[in-house]
Structure 1
Amino acid sequence: MMSGRPGRAPLRFLPDEARSLPPPKLTDPRLVYVGFLGYCSGLIDNAIRRRPVVAAGLHRQLLYVTSFVFIGYYLLKRQDYMYALRDRDMFSYVKSHPEDFPEKGSRTHIPCACPDLLFFCVLLQ
Protein backbone atom coordinates (compact mmCIF):
# COMPACT_ATOMS: atom_id res chain seq x y z
CA MET A 1 0.00 0.00 0.00
CA MET A 2 1.32 3.43 -0.90
CA SER A 3 1.76 5.88 1.91
CA GLY A 4 1.64 9.14 -0.04
CA ARG A 5 4.16 10.72 -2.36
CA PRO A 6 7.50 8.97 -2.87
CA GLY A 7 10.33 10.73 -1.08
CA ARG A 8 8.01 12.58 1.26
CA ALA A 9 9.30 13.08 4.77
CA PRO A 10 6.69 12.03 7.35
CA LEU A 11 5.56 14.30 10.20
CA ARG A 12 6.83 17.52 8.64
CA PHE A 13 4.24 20.25 8.61
CA LEU A 14 6.18 22.71 6.42
CA PRO A 15 9.16 21.38 4.47
CA ASP A 16 12.16 23.57 3.64
CA GLU A 17 10.83 24.05 0.10
CA ALA A 18 7.95 26.08 1.52
CA ARG A 19 10.36 28.85 2.53
CA SER A 20 10.74 29.90 -1.10
CA LEU A 21 7.03 30.74 -1.35
CA PRO A 22 5.82 34.23 -0.46
CA PRO A 23 4.10 34.39 2.93
CA PRO A 24 0.34 34.93 3.07
CA LYS A 25 -0.70 38.54 3.59
CA LEU A 26 -2.03 39.44 7.01
CA THR A 27 -5.06 40.99 5.31
CA ASP A 28 -5.91 37.76 3.50
CA PRO A 29 -9.69 37.24 3.83
CA ARG A 30 -9.19 33.64 4.92
CA LEU A 31 -6.89 34.78 7.72
CA VAL A 32 -9.30 37.52 8.80
CA TYR A 33 -12.08 34.93 8.83
CA VAL A 34 -10.03 32.61 11.07
CA GLY A 35 -9.37 35.54 13.43
CA PHE A 36 -13.10 36.27 13.51
CA LEU A 37 -13.72 32.62 14.41
CA GLY A 38 -11.29 33.06 17.30
CA TYR A 39 -13.23 36.10 18.49
CA CYS A 40 -16.51 34.18 18.24
CA SER A 41 -15.03 31.28 20.19
CA GLY A 42 -14.15 33.73 22.97
CA LEU A 43 -17.73 34.97 23.00
CA ILE A 44 -19.05 31.41 23.10
CA ASP A 45 -16.66 30.62 25.97
CA ASN A 46 -18.08 33.57 27.92
CA ALA A 47 -21.64 32.47 27.16
CA ILE A 48 -20.98 28.89 28.28
CA ARG A 49 -19.42 30.06 31.56
CA ARG A 50 -22.35 32.47 32.15
CA ARG A 51 -20.30 35.65 32.06
CA PRO A 52 -21.26 38.87 30.29
CA VAL A 53 -20.70 37.82 26.69
CA VAL A 54 -18.91 40.84 25.20
CA ALA A 55 -17.55 42.71 28.21
CA ALA A 56 -15.97 39.93 30.27
CA GLY A 57 -12.52 38.61 29.55
CA LEU A 58 -11.31 40.93 26.81
CA HIS A 59 -7.78 39.62 27.35
CA ARG A 60 -9.09 36.09 26.74
CA GLN A 61 -10.84 37.15 23.54
CA LEU A 62 -7.61 38.78 22.35
CA LEU A 63 -5.75 35.57 23.18
CA TYR A 64 -8.25 33.52 21.15
CA VAL A 65 -7.97 35.88 18.17
CA THR A 66 -4.16 35.86 18.29
CA SER A 67 -3.89 32.10 18.61
CA PHE A 68 -6.41 31.43 15.85
CA VAL A 69 -4.63 33.86 13.50
CA PHE A 70 -1.27 32.25 14.33
CA ILE A 71 -2.56 28.75 13.59
CA GLY A 72 -4.47 29.96 10.53
CA TYR A 73 -1.33 31.63 9.16
CA TYR A 74 0.58 28.35 9.17
CA LEU A 75 -2.39 26.43 7.80
CA LEU A 76 -2.62 28.91 4.91
CA LYS A 77 1.11 28.63 4.35
CA ARG A 78 0.80 24.85 4.18
CA GLN A 79 -2.19 25.09 1.84
CA ASP A 80 -0.26 27.40 -0.49
CA TYR A 81 2.69 24.99 -0.41
CA MET A 82 0.49 22.00 -1.26
CA TYR A 83 -1.12 23.90 -4.16
CA ALA A 84 2.32 24.96 -5.44
CA LEU A 85 3.52 21.36 -5.25
CA ARG A 86 0.46 20.14 -7.14
CA ASP A 87 0.87 22.84 -9.78
CA ARG A 88 4.55 22.00 -10.22
CA ASP A 89 3.74 18.32 -10.72
CA MET A 90 0.91 19.12 -13.12
CA PHE A 91 3.01 21.50 -15.25
CA SER A 92 5.90 19.04 -15.38
CA TYR A 93 3.48 16.35 -16.56
CA VAL A 94 2.06 18.65 -19.24
CA LYS A 95 5.59 19.58 -20.33
CA SER A 96 6.72 15.94 -20.52
CA HIS A 97 3.61 14.79 -22.45
CA PRO A 98 3.01 17.44 -25.14
CA GLU A 99 1.16 14.97 -27.39
CA ASP A 100 -1.68 14.74 -24.86
CA PHE A 101 -2.04 18.54 -24.66
CA PRO A 102 -1.99 20.09 -28.15
CA GLU A 103 -1.70 23.86 -28.55
CA LYS A 104 -5.00 25.57 -29.19
CA GLY A 105 -5.27 27.25 -32.56
CA SER A 106 -6.84 30.58 -33.31
CA ARG A 107 -10.60 30.84 -32.96
CA THR A 108 -12.70 31.05 -36.06
CA HIS A 109 -15.91 33.03 -35.94
CA ILE A 110 -19.10 31.70 -37.43
CA PRO A 111 -21.01 34.42 -39.29
CA CYS A 112 -24.46 34.86 -37.83
CA ALA A 113 -27.42 36.10 -39.79
CA CYS A 114 -29.29 37.33 -36.75
CA PRO A 115 -27.62 39.48 -34.06
CA ASP A 116 -29.88 37.89 -31.43
CA LEU A 117 -28.20 34.55 -32.09
CA LEU A 118 -24.68 35.96 -31.75
CA PHE A 119 -24.27 34.53 -28.26
CA PHE A 120 -25.46 31.13 -29.49
CA CYS A 121 -22.98 31.20 -32.40
CA VAL A 122 -20.10 31.97 -30.05
CA LEU A 123 -21.11 29.02 -27.86
CA LEU A 124 -21.05 26.67 -30.86
CA GLN A 125 -17.34 27.16 -31.39
Structure 2
Amino acid sequence: GVHRQVLFTTVGWFVGYYLTKRTEYIHAKLDRELFEYIRQHPGDFKATEKKRIGELLEDFYPVR
Protein backbone atom coordinates (compact mmCIF):
# COMPACT_ATOMS: atom_id res chain seq x y z
CA GLY A 1 0.00 0.00 0.00
CA VAL A 2 0.88 3.61 0.45
CA HIS A 3 2.92 2.95 3.59
CA ARG A 4 5.34 0.78 1.57
CA GLN A 5 5.74 3.50 -1.03
CA VAL A 6 6.55 6.02 1.68
CA LEU A 7 8.95 3.55 3.33
CA PHE A 8 10.76 2.71 0.09
CA THR A 9 10.94 6.37 -0.90
CA THR A 10 12.44 7.26 2.47
CA VAL A 11 14.92 4.38 2.39
CA GLY A 12 15.92 5.21 -1.19
CA TRP A 13 16.42 8.86 -0.30
CA PHE A 14 18.67 8.00 2.67
CA VAL A 15 20.68 5.47 0.67
CA GLY A 16 21.15 7.99 -2.15
CA TYR A 17 22.10 10.71 0.32
CA TYR A 18 24.78 8.62 2.01
CA LEU A 19 26.12 7.26 -1.28
CA THR A 20 26.43 10.83 -2.56
CA LYS A 21 28.23 11.88 0.62
CA ARG A 22 30.57 8.89 0.33
CA THR A 23 31.49 9.61 -3.29
CA GLU A 24 32.07 13.30 -2.47
CA TYR A 25 34.35 12.23 0.40
CA ILE A 26 36.30 9.83 -1.81
CA HIS A 27 36.76 12.47 -4.53
CA ALA A 28 37.78 15.12 -1.97
CA LYS A 29 40.31 12.71 -0.46
CA LEU A 30 41.75 11.92 -3.90
CA ASP A 31 41.93 15.63 -4.77
CA ARG A 32 43.73 16.35 -1.50
CA GLU A 33 46.27 13.59 -2.16
CA LEU A 34 46.89 14.72 -5.74
CA PHE A 35 47.26 18.40 -4.80
CA GLU A 36 49.68 17.43 -2.02
CA TYR A 37 51.73 15.38 -4.50
CA ILE A 38 51.76 18.30 -6.95
CA ARG A 39 52.84 20.64 -4.14
CA GLN A 40 55.71 18.31 -3.16
CA HIS A 41 56.90 17.77 -6.76
CA PRO A 42 56.61 21.15 -8.52
CA GLY A 43 59.27 20.23 -11.09
CA ASP A 44 57.02 17.56 -12.59
CA PHE A 45 54.14 20.02 -13.08
CA LYS A 46 55.47 23.13 -14.73
CA ALA A 47 52.99 25.87 -15.54
CA THR A 48 52.52 26.39 -19.25
CA GLU A 49 51.92 29.75 -20.84
CA LYS A 50 48.30 30.69 -21.29
CA LYS A 51 46.95 30.53 -24.84
CA ARG A 52 44.10 32.58 -26.16
CA ILE A 53 41.05 30.78 -27.48
CA GLY A 54 41.83 31.97 -31.02
CA GLU A 55 45.18 30.18 -30.90
CA LEU A 56 43.54 26.91 -29.86
CA LEU A 57 40.76 26.79 -32.44
CA GLU A 58 41.23 26.18 -36.13
CA ASP A 59 40.02 28.71 -38.67
CA PHE A 60 36.38 28.25 -39.65
CA TYR A 61 35.51 27.92 -43.32
CA PRO A 62 31.80 27.33 -43.98
CA VAL A 63 30.94 24.60 -46.47
CA ARG A 64 28.14 25.50 -48.88
TM-score band, normalised by shorter chain = 0.7 to 0.9
Unaligned runs of 5+ in 1: 1-56, 111-116, 120-125
Whole-angstrom CA distance in 2 between matches of 1:107 and 1:58: 59
Percent identity over the alignment is 42
Give the structure-2-normalised TM-score.
0.76
Q: TM-score, normalised by structure 1?
A: 0.41
User: Superposed, which structure 2 residues align to 1:97-112 within 5 Å?
Assistant: 97-107=41-51
Quote the residue 1:89 is aligned against. Answer: 33
1:118 lines up with 2:59 in the alignment: yes
Per-residue Cα deviation, 1:14-72 (whole angstroms, up to 9, x for no partner): xxxxxxxxxxxxxxxxxxxxxxxxxxxxxxxxxxxxxxxxxxx1110111010111111
Structure 1 residue 61 corresponds to structure 2 residue 2: no
Deviation at 1:118, TM superposition (A): 1.0
- Number of residue-to-residue matches in the alignment: 57
Cα distance in 2, alignment partners of residues 58 and 104 from structure 1: 60
Which structure ranks higher in relative contact order (CA pairs < 8 Å, sequence separation ≥ 6)?
1
Q: Spell out structure 1 runs of 4+ moving beyond 4 A.
A: none
One-letter code of the match for 2:30? R
Please tell me the root mean square deviation across aligned C-alpha atoms, in Å: 1.9
Partners of 1:60 and 1:100 lie apart in 2 by: 56
The structure with the larger Rg is 1
